[in-house]
Amino acid sequence: MRRPTLTALIVVVGLVLLADYLIVNEALGQLAGVFVDAAILVAAGAALAAVTSLALRRANDLRHRRGDPVSALLVLGGMAAMLIAGLRPDATGPTDAAVGWLLTALLIPIGATLFGLLFITTLGAARRSIQFGGREALVLVGVAIVTLILLLPLDGGAGSWLADAAAWWLAVPIGAVFRGILIGVAILTAVVAARMLLGVGPSTDE
Amino acid sequence: MSDRRRLAARIAPLALLVLLGAAWVVPAVPGLELGGRGDDARGWATALDALPPEPIVLVGFDPDLGTYAEVRPTVRTLIADLLNRGSRLAFVSVTPEGRALLIAELDRLARAEANPTRVLDLGYLPGAEAALVSLAHELPVGEGTGSLARQLAAGGIGAVDAAVIIGGNDIGPRSWVEQVATRTDELPLLAVAPTILLPELQPYLESGQLVALLATPAAGAAFRDGADVGALERLLEIAPPGPLPILVGMIVAILVLAQAWVGQLTSAVRRMMARDQS
């Protein structure tokens, strides 16, 4: 059974934000500000709930001896370390030196290393996609090879020619594909938003 | 897979690391240049020159852990350049990763004794796009008491002379164009972003919605070469990437991909010819 409450709420909030976008009016701006602040609070609450849920899930995994106990311990230990560093008595929160050290010496290098490993795993994935992916994979990897060659950091006449070709390559064919995707996504988003505002199509609040 | 191939597959990543390490320590090699044509860097310099004396610059700091290494040397040079021009910088993040990286950069600025009266931390605003919308209405100055905080509290985003966006995968210059620029009067947006965002940002640069953009290692290197940081060299990256390790990594990638690509193409052609003959 359809419940119109959520749809009505979305319609009202959407129309107020849209009106604020188009009309310069202080009262309307303040009302839109209240909605935006509420959205920020909801987002903050959702983030907190997600982190709490992760901690509870990992603690349950440990208690019931499910999954990998080392990774669960690391997740819980990392959370505890950051909470103690930022919330202990006399701590200054996110700007505390201990929090800064945890971020600078641990979190950022570990994160960068994991993403650095993507160089190797992406190459492996590209090779496997060629072996099993057929014609599309051949085109995809072929374009990647051409792009890499054009971006080689060479000096002199050859380097200048490559730089010109790379600029054209990125701006025209690759740019055109990206723009097509972005325009498609924008149209789809507008259509979905309009359907929600008008209450057309399958209900989302059941 | 044969034992020899399995061993080669295990050794390959280690060999790559050794090769990249060796390329990193080799001094400058003639014939290689990372800076390229430098058009984007010139656009940046022109945009910075057009700012008023001692401008207030709002820095939207939302890079991500994965791509920050690519833009970090350019970001550090940019901050030094802006401070050397007498700019007053107000930093804000709307993503948790951006906030973590910003805390590290602010800590580095404090250790390098950057003038604290010219740097203001506006903190973290949750809510991503919604947070950007709220920035256009009110800046989160909080309990800041300096002259910069007072100016921003009184004038909001209208007191800002330009916004510099350090973008990442979650929130980048595109979100600022969509959510902030449309709600403010002629706020110049300048951006630094990883290469992955270049195709989606190029139209905004060409339409003038972004005044300047650095979105490739070459553009970043050209900007670093031309930046004037005066006595603030201590704020720069200690060892920015040279062209040789990048070239080595790219050649390895090209060879690995081309070997698989040519092999697959050859076998496809052979299969087609065999089918035709039968």
Calculate the dihedral angle through the C-alpha atoms of B67, B73, B74, B80, rounding to the nearest 10 degrees. Answer: 140
The pLDDT value given to residue A3: 62
**Distance of alpha carbon B264 from alpha carbon B159, whole angstroms:** 59
Q: Which domain holds residue A178?
A: 151-196
Q: How confident is the model at residue A84 (pLDDT cuts 50, 70, 90)?
A: very high
Q: What pLDDT, on the 0 to 100 scale, is given for residue B165? A: 97
Residue B159 has pLDDT above 90, yes or no: yes
* pLDDT at position A148: 92
What CATH number did the domain enclosing B68 receive?
A: 3.40.50.10160
- How much is the pLDDT for B211? 94
Confirm if B113 and B131 have CB atoms less than 8 A apart: no
Q: Is the dihedral of CA A189, A195, A199, A205 positive or negative?
A: negative
Q: How many residues does chain A have?
A: 206
Is-contact B64 B97, C-beta < 8 A? yes
- Please indicate, yes or no, whether residues B265 and B152 belong to a single structural domain of this protein: no
Structure confidence at residue B37 (pLDDT): 63
In a domain, A97, yes or no: no
Residues 6+ apart with CB under 8 A from A39: B127, B130
Given a cut of 70, whether residue A1 has pLDDT beyond it is: no
Q: How far apart are CA B263 and CA B257, in angstroms?
A: 10
Residues B44 and B174 in one domain: yes
Q: Chain B: nearest CA to A153, how far in angstroms?
A: 5
A131 domain-assigned: no
Which of A137-146, A191-200, B23-32, B140-149 shows the highest mean pLDDT? A137-146
Q: Is A173 on the interface with B (CB under 8 A)?
A: no
Instruction: Spell out which residues of chain B touch residue A160, defining contact as CB-CB under 8 Å.
Output: 37
Give CA angle at B65 (A121, B177), nearest 5°: 115
What is the secondary structure of B195-212 as a DSSP string?
GGGHHHHHHHHHTTSSSE
pLDDT value, residue A141: 92
> Residue B160 to residues A21, A134, B192, B256: CA-CA distances in angstroms?
21, 53, 18, 48
**Partner residue opposite A151 with nearest CB, options B65, B250, B268:** B250
With respect to residue A22, please indicate whether it lies within any of the assigned structural domains.
yes
What's the average model confidence in pLDDT over A81-102? 88
Q: Do B157 and B25 sit in the same domain of this protein?
A: no
List Cα–Cα distances, B189 to A65, B227, B228, in angstroms: 52, 19, 21
Section B231-248 average pLDDT: 87
Last residue of a domain, one of A29, A44, A67: A67
**Is residue B18 predicted with pLDDT exceeding 70?**
yes
Considering the domain architecture, whether residues B23 and B90 belong to the same structural domain is answered as no
pLDDT of residue A2: 55
- B242 CB neighbours in chain A (<8 A) are none
Q: Identify whether the C-beta of residue B242 lies closer than 8 Å to the C-beta of residue B217.
A: no
Alpha carbon of residue B186 to chain centroid: 23
Nearest CA in chain B to A34: B134
Q: Look at residue A20 and tell me if it is in a domain.
A: yes
Smallest Cα–Cα separation from B64: which of B213, B196, B162?
B196
Are residues B271 and A177 in contact, defined by beta-carbon separation less than 8 angstroms? no
pLDDT digits 0-9 by tens, B180-212: 998 888 899 999 999 888 888 888 998 899 999
- Which pLDDT score is estimated for B164? 97
Q: Are residues B21 and B65 in the same domain?
A: no
**B155 and B95 in a common domain:** yes
Whether B261 and A138 lie within 8 Å, measured CB to CB: yes
Highest mean pLDDT of the ranges B20-29, B49-58, B214-223: B49-58
The reply to whether A96 falls in a domain is no
- Give residue B258's pLDDT: 94
Give the domain extent around B114. 39-235
Q: What is the least distance, in Å, from the CA of A65 to any CA of chain B? A: 31
Of A50, A67, A84, the residue at which a domain comes to its end is A67
Same domain membership, residue B115 and residue B17 = no
Contact status of A121 with chain B (Cβ, < 8 Å): no
> Which one of A67, A100, A116 terminates a domain?
A67
Same domain, B256 and B190: no
Q: How confident is the model at residue A201 (pLDDT cuts 50, 70, 90)?
A: low
- Mean predicted lDDT score pLDDT of chain B: 88
B57 strand-pairing partners: B89, B162
In order, the DSSP letters of B183-195 are GSSS--EEEE--G
Residue spans of alpha helices (H) in chain B:
3-25, 39-49, 68-84, 96-111, 129-137, 147-155, 173-179, 198-206, 217-226, 243-277
- Contact yes or no for B99 and A94 at CB 8 A: yes
User: Looking at the structure, do residues B188 and B260 belong to the same domain, yes or no?
Assistant: no
Same domain membership, residue B24 and residue B43: no
| B103 vs A103, A138, A170: nearest CB | A103
Confirm whether pTM is higher than 0.95. no
Task: Count up the domains in chain B and report the number.
Answer: 2
For residue A17, being part of any structural domain is answered with: yes
Mean pLDDT taken over chain A: 85
Using CB atoms and an 8 Å cut-off, which of residues 174-193 of chain A contact chain B?
174-175, 177-179, 182
Overall number of domains in chain A: 2
B163 & B108 share domain: yes
CB count, 10 Å around CB of B202? Answer: 21
Which helix (H) or strand (E) is B91 found in, with range? strand B88-93
pLDDT in tens, B101-150: 999 899 899 988 888 889 999 988 888 888 898 898 889 887 777 889 99
What is the complex's ipTM, to 2 decimals? 0.78
Q: pLDDT digit string (tens) for A39-81?
A: 888 888 888 899 999 999 999 999 998 888 999 999 999 999 9
Neighbour count for residue A95 (Cβ, 10 Å): 15
Question: By the CB < 8 Å criterion, does A152 face chain B?
Answer: yes
Within an 8 Å CB–CB cutoff, is residue A112 touching chain B?
A: yes
Q: Which residues contact A182 (CB under 8 A, 6 or more apart)?
A: B200
A189 CB neighbour count, 10 Å cutoff: 10
Per-residue pLDDT band for B162 (boundaries 50, 70, 90) equals very high
Same domain, B200 and B85: yes
